[in-house]
Amino acid sequence: SLKSIVQVETLGEFGVFFTLFLVGLEFSPERLRKVWKISLQGPCYMTVLMIAFGLLWGHLLQIRPTQSVFISTCLSLSSTPLVSRFLAGTVRGDKEGDIDYSSVLLGMLVMQDVQLGLFIAVMPTLIQAGVSTYSSIFKEILRILILIGQILFSLAAVLLICLVIKTYLIGPYYRKLHAESKGNKEILILGISAFIFLMLTITELLDVSMELGCFLAGALISSQGHMVTEEIMACIEPIRDFLAIIFFASIGLHVFPTFVIYELTVLLFLTLSVVIMKFVLAVLVLSLILPKTSQYIKWIVSAGLAQVSEFSFVLGSRARRAGIISREVYLLILSVTTLSLLLAPALWRAAIMKCVPRPERRSST
């Protein structure tokens, strides 16, 4: 009965923005500094391994390399909004001198959002590479290297802008908002929303993902102290909850029930294969990069990364329009993504029950 799914998806996108803002609000820059090496290395290794496996399977099944790379990259991403909901209320439970799983998991997910922005930028070149001759492959590789350089420059610019805002702007801006919103919370909500949209606009203009801008907006405001964080969370959480409901409902709009019923056996096999592969690869990568004292968290972090990101819907639709993948492959990606998101809560709960000590378990589930 919906006339335009795009309108529902747009409202759902606001749910993602506010979810990541609240994640950033609870995730202080000090915690991000503690896990930045793991957050940087983990997603990069996982993506490379997923692409390598994808090319191997693509060669065996005689699938074009560009299609194999695209599908593997889609499947390597994990859902930041979903895992953020899993971690709601646990992000502040950090132990002094130790690395906790929520910091590692959120750091890796933020890095994956950066990778998503990079992949969207590289996609037009990937499309051209699919139709070009071998003589122009070196030009395409050079173009991809230039794009990677541009993304790294953009990230440096974003970090510099954040430093300037944190040092000179965010303090006076919040104090002005707080003074004006005495007995009138609408002004506080409007001011914070404006700041979120300012940050996502900056990151979008610099060709970095808008989701990263929302996360950084929360991290910048959290630098003003615990009382500020509590006040803003009380105002923004109801809005986030409502929009997040629309976001998760919009995921269901991408599923074609008849296709799922006809291909149920294949879809279940593919979904379980993808989830198990992502879990095993994450465990292997984390075993190499985590310190020995924190090895036990690799099972929980791997369970959080084992599903497929809902942004594969966006990438899949663009690739289908560009002719990289067929309609059948597009429907398979949508269905596998949705089924993996449905499996994710059970896998997360099992990992928490198995690996988290009893006192921490209540807030984690």
Both structure tokens of 204: 């979008």
The pTM for the full model equals: 0.75
pLDDT category of residue 84 using cuts at 50, 70 and 90: confident
Residues contacting residue 120 through CB under 8 Å, at least 6 positions apart? 209, 315, 318
Integer Cα distance of 36 and 285 in angstroms: 15
pLDDT category of residue 140 using cuts at 50, 70 and 90: low
> Average per-residue pLDDT in the chain?
81
Proportion of the chain above pLDDT 90, given as a percent:
13
pLDDT category of residue 12 using cuts at 50, 70 and 90: confident
Q: Is the pLDDT of residue 275 over 50?
A: yes
pLDDT of residue 136: 61
Mean pLDDT comparison of 62-76, 258-272, 305-319, highest-scoring range? 258-272
Which residue has better confidence, 203 or 120?
203
pLDDT, average across residues 142-162: 81
| 34, 28 Cβ separation under 8 angstroms | no
pLDDT of residue 201: 92
Q: Is the pLDDT of residue 94 over 70?
A: no
- The DSSP-derived string for 79-103 is -HHHHHHHTTTTTT-PPTTS--HHH
Which residue has better confidence, 27 or 340?
340
pLDDT, average across residues 277-281: 92
| 71, 329 Cβ separation under 8 angstroms | yes
For Cα atoms 242, 238, 246, give the angle at the middle one, nearest 5 degrees: 10
- Segments making up each domain of the chain, as ranges: 3-89+100-355
pLDDT category of residue 73 using cuts at 50, 70 and 90: confident
pLDDT, average across residues 72-85: 85
- How many residues are given for the chain? 365
pLDDT of residue 279: 93
Which residue has better confidence, 22 or 209?
22
Integer Cα distance of 15 and 20 in angstroms: 9
The answer to which of 11-25, 211-225, 317-331 has the lowest mean pLDDT is 317-331
Which residue has better confidence, 75 or 29?
75
Task: For residue 103, count CB atoms less than 10 angstroms from its CB and return exposed for 0-12, middle for 13-18, buried for 19 or more.
Answer: buried
pLDDT, average across residues 260-269: 87
Fold of 3-89+100-355: Na+/H+ antiporter like fold (1.20.1530)
pLDDT of residue 156: 87
pLDDT of residue 91: 46
Q: Which residue has 């209320």 as its token pair?
A: 89
Both structure tokens of 20: 């990541």
pLDDT category of residue 130 using cuts at 50, 70 and 90: low
pLDDT of residue 92: 45
Mean pLDDT comparison of 95-104, 247-256, 335-344, highest-scoring range? 335-344
Q: Is the pLDDT of residue 230 over 90?
A: no
Quick one: how far is CA 171 from the chain centroid? Answer: 28
Q: Is the pLDDT of residue 30 over 80?
A: no
